[in-house]
């Protein structure tokens, strides 16, 4: 299921404009494996804040596309998604499957709200792409 650009823009707008709505707390409660995964990949500094905001936007875009919250992602699915990202990116299949979400991730990496070192940006990009793959797989299986 492709998440279309309009839904990604709406989700990003909702996350940026309405941070106090409790959506972030709901996201953390609904997807604890995603939060732990990002913390493990991005540490506890600025990269984590950027990652959580972007992951919430990605999750919200999938929710809008499905018409309901995506299924809970388990830690094992994230490990598999990391491996899938490498193969899919090399083959170009991933970008073709979720172009709008890939563009969102690229935009976060290209213009983060706070400066990131090159290594931090690379870890952040890989982690966000793994989240897209994991949510995509979870939604396809549901």
For 42-85, the DSSP string reads HTTSHHHHHHHHHHHHHHHHHHHHHTSPPPPPPHHHHHHHHHHH
| Total domains, the chain | 1
Q: What percent of the chain has pLDDT over 70?
A: 92
pLDDT tens for residues 90-101?
A: 666 667 788 999
Q: How many residues does the chain have?
A: 142
Question: In whole numbers, what is the pLDDT of the chain averaged over residues?
Answer: 88
Whether the predicted pLDDT of 50 surpasses 80: yes
| DSSP one-letter code for 114 | S
95: containing domain: 5-141
> Which range among 46-60, 77-91, 95-109, 114-128 shows the weakest confidence by mean pLDDT?
77-91
Whether the predicted pLDDT of 134 surpasses 90: yes
Q: What percent of the chain has pLDDT over 90?
A: 58
Whole-number pLDDT of residue 90: 64
* Global confidence as pTM: 0.89
Whole-number pLDDT of residue 135: 95
| DSSP one-letter code for 101 | H
Chain-centroid distance, C-alpha 109: 12
Whether the predicted pLDDT of 20 surpasses 60: no
């Amino acid at each position: 299921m492709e998440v279309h650009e309009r839904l990604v823009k709406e989700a990003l707008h909702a996350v940026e404009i309405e941070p106090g709505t409790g959506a972030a707390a709901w996201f953390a409660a609904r997807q604890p494996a995603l939060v732990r995964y990002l913390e493990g990949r991005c540490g506890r500094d600025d990269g984590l804040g950027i990652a959580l905001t972007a992951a919430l936007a990605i999750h919200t875009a999938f929710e809008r596309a499905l018409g309901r919250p995506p299924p809970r992602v388990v830690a094992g699915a994230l490990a598999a998604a990391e491996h899938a990202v490498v193969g899919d990116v090399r083959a170009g299949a991933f970008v073709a499957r979720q172009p709008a979400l890939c563009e969102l991730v690229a935009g976060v990496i290209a213009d983060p709200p706070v400066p990131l070192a090159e290594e931090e940006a690379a870890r952040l990009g890989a982690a966000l792409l793994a989240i897209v793959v994991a949510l995509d797989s979870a939604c396809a299986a549901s």
